[in-house]
Amino acid sequence: MSDATKKEMSSSAIWGGRFDGGPSEIMERINASIDFDKRMYAQDIAASQAHAAMLVAQDIISAEDGARISDGLEQILAEITAGEFEFKTALEDIHMNIEARLTEIIGDAAGRLHTARSRNDQVATDFKLWVRDELDGLDAALKSFQAMLIARAEEHVQTIMPGYTHLQTAQPVTLGHHLLAYVEMIGRDRSRVVDCRTRMNENPLGSGALAGTSFPIDRHATAAALGFDGPTTNSLDAVSDRDFALEYMSLAAILSVHLSRLAEEIVVWASASFGFVNLPDSFSTGSSMLPQKRNPDAAELVRAKSGRVIGNLNSLLIVMKGLPLAYSKDMQEDKEPVFETADTLALTVAAMTGMFEEITFNADRMLAAAKAANSNAIDLADWLVRVLGKPFREAHHISGAMVKLAEGKNCTLEELSLGDMQSIEPAITEDVLAQLDIEQALNARSSFGGTAPENVKDACAQARLKYLG
């Protein structure tokens, strides 16, 4: 290769043999992705190492050239890791930046690395490897979050709080039971992580631009080297779809909704009207004007960032929805929403885990709120069904009438006298009074999955086995 050709390739035109002129400055800017896809440098180098080793094993390139390529790639990895690598916009992307630097280091042998591959299968491979790494990290972070929630649930197996529907007090539950609900949600999120990882774990490398290659490559070898379960079976599909990225962002959106719901509860519980929790200083902020304020900003930002994650999913769905096979440059827009989603998840999961490590709960306020709202009315109705043999709809009506009577007397249901109750239902006996005790009402919810403290204690143990191993 002539020095002039080498200079041309190292500056801007690795693909430029077909062109007489170079791109305009605006074209360079819109076409370049190096500012964001440089995050995939480790995956790009790993895939290139696997590809080079396969080319040597298949006698497509010499062992000497393969060794030079491998050593050069190791040097580049060290340079990038040390912050000594110069990323050039004129070279468009991480692939060309690495190849150009490899050419500077080892000369003509670098040009053999791209034998039997295209940037299309190269980027699909790098991107899959990057998302796969993120899925592994996300699963570990979610496991830690579950561990924190389970630990707090174990502390509050018997802490009584109001359970809500429509944000209206419905029945008493335990705080432990409430927290375990989110453990289950996060458990399903983790199962989606596993499903996504399993489905995406096929190797696109060797698919070429769209139709494969005429070289006698071994795609199973590169798949094994990179930890894939095997190669993709259709070259067109391999280079042109991003459903693995869409699935990743879909599970991220669902996870973000779960985090947002829990964050919303923290915001509500921390308000003076509820007073169920005390926020730690480390996850709160103050007001620039009002000295008394303690704002739940961390929880509010977790709640808000779910919108960014959902928006990122929508943006890539819209990019992909009308693309014909195979690759189109539109697909360069796949990485920024995925990268931002990954950054957002890392931050929000860490924030929620940190908050629950330090947050404290006001058990007395929770108990008072549960008692004040006649959340035991269903227990009265159940007693009427079980002891007096009333149809549930009639029992429901009687219990509602007693709640109305208690409200008129400005007292709670259990504070009504037996005479008051008998004025509505003469057959009621004093045995009903024990059923109205809130702890008794709680203990009675012993059906599988219910909130009885013994159930919750067992559920904590089972959650540890199921999710923490």
Each residue's pLDDT tens digit, 168-224: 888 999 999 999 999 999 999 999 999 999 999 999 999 999 999 999 999 999 999
CB 32 within 8 A of CB 187: no
- Give the pLDDT mean for 2-24: 53
Q: Which helix (H) or strand (E) holds 360?
A: strand 360-361
Catalytically annotated residue among 62, 271, 282, 287: 287
Distance of CA 446 to CAs 164, 440, 441, 454, Å?
Answer: 19, 11, 10, 8
Helix axes of 243-270 and 119-155: crossing angle, nearest 10 degrees? 30
pLDDT of res. 223: 98
* E strands present in 84-243: 160-165, 168-174, 202-203, 230-231
Locate 345 and state its tokens: 């998840």
The helix/strand/coil state of 124 is: helix
Catalytically annotated residue among 2, 166, 214, 288: 166
Residues in Cβ contact with 167 at an 8 Å cutoff, skipping those fewer than 6 apart: 268
The sign of the torsion formed by the CA atoms of 234, 236, 239, 244 equals negative
Give per-residue pLDDT as tens, 90-128: 898 999 999 999 999 999 999 999 999 999 999 999 999
Q: Does the annotation count 328 as an active-site position? A: no
Q: Compute the distance between CA of residue 67 and CA of residue 76 in angstroms, rounded to an integer.
A: 14
Closest CA to 377 of 408, 409, 412: 412
Alpha helices in 169-296 (DSSP H): 175-200, 219-225, 235-240, 243-270
Q: Tell me the three-class secondary structure of 395-415, residue by residue.
A: HHHHHHHHHHHHHHCCCCHHH
pTM to 2 decimals? 0.89
The helix/strand/coil state of 375 is: coil
pLDDT of res. 6: 45
Q: Compute the distance between CA of residue 210 and CA of residue 204 in angstroms, rounded to an integer.
A: 10
List phi, psi (to 5°) of 67: -70, -40
Q: Compute the distance between CA of residue 443 and CA of residue 455 in angstroms, rounded to an integer.
A: 9
Locate 443 and state its tokens: 């203990």
CB-side neighbour CA atoms (13 Å) of 405: 20
pLDDT of res. 5: 42
Distance of CA 242 to CAs 119, 249, 306, 311, 328, Å?
Answer: 15, 11, 22, 17, 12
Task: State yes or no: pLDDT of 9 exceeds 60.
Answer: no
Residue tagged 């290769």 (tokens)? 1
DSSP string over 276-342: -EE--GGG-B--SS-TT--B-HHHHHHHHHHHHHHHHHHHHHHHHTTPPSS--GGGGGGHHHHHHHH
Closest CA to 406 of 416, 398, 397: 416
- Give the pLDDT mean for 288-315: 85
Give per-residue pLDDT as tens, 220-275: 999 999 999 999 999 999 999 999 999 999 999 999 999 999 999 999 999 999 99
The sign of the torsion formed by the CA atoms of 114, 119, 124, 128 equals positive
pLDDT of res. 29: 75
The helix/strand/coil state of 37 is: helix
* Interior/surface letters 382-412, b for 16+ CB within 10 angstroms, e for the rest: bbbbeeeebeeeebbbbbeebbebbeeeeeb
Q: Does the annotation count 287 as an active-site position? A: yes
CB 458 within 8 A of CB 447: no
Locate 229 and state its tokens: 């379960």
User: Which of these ranges, 77-81, 118-122, 152-156, 427-431, has the smallest mean pLDDT?
Assistant: 427-431
User: Which of these ranges, 254-263, 361-370, 394-403, 427-436, has the smallest mean pLDDT?
Assistant: 427-436
Helices vs strands, H then E, count in the chain: 20, 6
Percent of the chain with pLDDT over 90: 76
Locate 4 and state its tokens: 């002039």
